[in-house]
C-alpha cells in the first residue's frame, strides 16, 4: 500500500503552482512578511469545495486560481 503524498504548503492544491503564501514563507524562513494577499480576498464556497480533503487547512489556493474562478463566475 502506498503512503499518501504529503501536501506541499508552498504549492496551490488545485494547479500545483507556487501559491506565494506569505504566512508559509514566514514560517519557513523566520523572516517577517507583509500580510498575505489572501487575507483580503474572498474565496467562493464552490472554489473551496474543489480542494482535496488532504489539502484543507494545509495549503493555500494561488491567486491565479482565485482570479480564474472569479472570471468564470461573472455573468
- Write the CA distances from 34 to 46, 48, 71, integer angstroms: 28, 24, 27
Is residue 61 within 8 A of residue 14, CB to CB? The reply is yes
Give the H/E segment covering residue 58: none
Report if residue 69 sits inside a domain: yes
Report if residue 63 sits inside a domain: yes
Q: pLDDT for 56-67, tens place per residue?
A: 988 999 999 999
Q: pLDDT for 17-36, tens place per residue?
A: 998 889 888 988 999 999 98
- Boundaries of domain holding 71: 40-75
Phi-psi region of 32 (alpha: psi -120 to 50; beta: other; left: phi over 0): beta
- The predicted structure's pLDDT at residue 75: 62
Number of domains in the chain: 1
- The predicted structure's pLDDT at residue 1: 55
Residue closest to 41 by CA, chosen among 26, 20, 55, 24:
20
Amino acid at each position: 500500500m502506498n503512503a499518501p503524498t504529503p501536501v506541499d504548503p508552498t504549492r496551490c492544491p488545485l494547479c500545483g503552482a507556487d501559491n506565494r503564501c506569505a504566512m508559509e514563507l514566514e514560517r519557513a524562513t523566520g523572516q517577517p512578511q507583509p500580510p498575505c494577499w489572501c487575507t483580503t480576498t474572498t474565496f467562493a464556497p464552490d472554489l473551496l469545495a474543489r480542494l482535496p480533503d488532504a489539502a484543507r487547512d494545509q495549503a493555500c489556493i494561488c491567486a491565479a486560481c482565485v482570479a480564474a474562478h472569479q472570471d468564470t463566475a461573472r455573468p
